[in-house]
Amino acid sequence: MTHYNTSYSNLEGEAKITYAIADIIEWLGSGKKFAELTKAFQAEKPSQRAFTFYCSLAGVQGYPVVAWWRHCFPSTPWVDEEEERS
């Protein structure tokens, strides 16, 4: 299994989220899988801690977790400042 280390520090706002979401979709192997997981997350409305854990099970870590959270729950801010800086 290959490990990717991607930096999003040169991007801001929606561009940063868009690139991270594209990387998640590529990592998962299909937009369909991303859509299914997104729908499941939105239905469950997990805590940020649980959401981070679920993402890690799929191999998604770092800033992409924050981007996915913002994609799923745009009106609920991400509160972990350390992840935000990744």
pLDDT tens-digit profile of 31-70?
A: 899 999 999 999 999 999 999 999 999 999 999 999 999 9
Class of residue 7 by CB neighbours under 10 A (exposed 0-12, middle 13-18, buried 19+): exposed
- pLDDT at residue 5, rounded to an integer: 64
- pLDDT at residue 4, rounded to an integer: 64
12-16, 18-22, 37-41, 82-86: least confident range? 82-86
List of residues 6+ apart from 11 with CB closer than 8 A: 19
At 73, is the pLDDT very low, low, confident or very high (cuts 50, 70, 90)?
very high
In angstroms, the CA 60 to CA 65 distance is 6
What single DSSP character describes residue 76?
S
Indicate the length of the chain as a whole number: 86
